Amino acid sequence: MDRPRVILDTQGGDRGPAEIIVGGIKAADAFDAEVILAGDQSTIEGEMSRRAKRRFTILHAPEIVTMEDIPTEAVRRKKESSLIKGIEYIRQGLANAFVSPANTGAVMAASLLNLGRIRGIDRPGIAAVIPTVRGRNVLIIDVGANVDCDAENLKEFAIMGTVYAQEILGIEEPKVGLLNIGSERRKGNELALKTFFLLEHLGNFSGNVEGHQVLEGQVDVVVCDGFAGNVLLKSYEGGAAATVEFLQKAIAKDFFARLGAFILLPALRNFKRSISAARYGGAPLLGVKGVVIIAHGNSDAEAIKNAIRVAVESVRHDLVGKIERGLAEHLPRSAAKEVTT
């Protein structure tokens, strides 16, 4: 396979283009991939002349999609933005993956309109990968792309999540759990009750999983609507951050504690960061016909580098093709369901 060509959207991040460009340079040094920088040419050239030892391809795109832009309007109007031009490159096959820290809704809208959905997918979902206490990772889908979902959407998330866990996380037989508020099958809201019924037909469904259990690592893929998934992900981050902060306060009061903390705090900060990394390090948008990785708006260079790593791995593993084939296995049954409901 040729080296994957990854388009990095240098605009729309909270920290400005310089930070993102540095992330792109780091990634190009670390991975066997070509990084194409999309954004304002003179801004990028200015940064590159100071930082990079080698040449990068630049995709000139002067317009910026901001966090305040309404997604569908931005997609329609800002044709000269790095977002629209970058996605268009992917569509034309001129590059293999798109990484962006811009407005999530706009990245979603541009991907849906210009790349389209994989056959069998009604709604693409954003997947986040976080570490569990067992050491292995858990994938949560959806964490914010679709705030209102139906059971079929969640079933599609389950299939896409399974393929991603197999291909990218290297888990041979991933177990799928349904985010719910109790372990019994009759627990939950209307969506959860309906989804439980659909997921039972998948071979790798292992039942409900509650908010406090996801980090325990009993399942590899957790499916939920984008609202609940977003709450879940941010709450872990909040719970971990609060614990670290609480610890720091306890330490400040006690000399002996300070001594131990001197050694412990770096480890704790690492853990807190790895929980946050799911939000900051690049989450794949699964279900569109192309590799699209969403980085957090506040990403630093390290987070951007990490997002590009996810993009490179997704291209190398032919993620889109694998999802297509994974869905094909389940499509006949899924199509039959659609007729009966």
Residues 267-286 that bind a copy of itself (CB under 8 A): 267-268, 271-272, 275
Helix axes 226-252, 255-280, angle to 10 degrees: 160
Give me the residue label for tokens 């309007």: 73
Which residue in 231, 273, 302, 316 binds a copy of itself (CB under 8 A)?
A: 231
Contact criterion met (CB below 8 Å) for 145 and 226: yes
Per rule CB under 8 A, is residue 252 in the interface with a copy of itself?
Answer: no
Q: Is 172 exposed, middle or buried (0-12, 13-18, 19+ CB in 10 A)?
A: exposed
Contact criterion met (CB below 8 Å) for 14 and 297: yes
x/- letters, 94..133, toward a copy of itself (CB under 8 A): --------------------------------------xx
What is the number of residues in the chain? 341
| Shortest distance in whole angstroms from residue 223 CB to a copy of itself | 13
| Shortest distance in whole angstroms from residue 125 CB to a copy of itself | 14
Which residue in 18, 202, 257, 331 binds a copy of itself (CB under 8 A)?
A: 257
Which residue in 18, 113, 169, 244 binds a copy of itself (CB under 8 A)?
A: 244
Number of residues that bind a copy of itself (CB under 8 A): 61
Residues 38-77 that bind a copy of itself (CB under 8 A): 68, 70
192-213 burial by CB neighbour count: b if 16+ within 10 A, else e? bebbbebbeeeebbbbbbebeb
Per rule CB under 8 A, is residue 297 in the interface with a copy of itself?
Answer: no
| Shortest distance in whole angstroms from residue 233 CB to a copy of itself | 7
What one-character-per-residue DSSP string does 68-137 give?
TS-HHHHHHH-TTBHHHHHHHHHHTTS-SEEEE-S-HHHHHHHHHHHT-BPTT-SS-EEEEEEE-TTSSE
| Shortest distance in whole angstroms from residue 132 CB to a copy of itself | 7
Residues 157-216 that bind a copy of itself (CB under 8 A): 179, 181, 184, 186, 188-190, 192, 210-216
Q: Which two tokens stand for residue 35?
A: 């990084």
Q: Give whole-number Cα distances, 176 to 10, 90, 180, 279, in Å.
A: 35, 31, 13, 21
Taken in order 119, 123, 126, 129, is the CA torsion positive or negative?
negative
What is the β-pairing status of strands 291-294 and 34-39? unpaired
Which residue in 261, 302, 324, 331 binds a copy of itself (CB under 8 A)?
A: 261
Which residue in 51, 79, 258, 325 binds a copy of itself (CB under 8 A)?
A: 258
Q: Which stretch binds a copy of itself (CB under 8 A): 79-87, 143-151, 164-172, 312-320?
A: 143-151
| Adjacent-strand bridge partners of 193 | none
Residue 132 or 206: the one with the smaller Cβ distance to a copy of itself is: 132
Binding region for a copy of itself (CB under 8 A): 68, 70, 132-133, 144, 147-148, 179, 181, 184, 186, 188-190, 192, 210-216, 225-228, 230-247, 250-251, 254, 256-264, 267-268, 271-272, 275
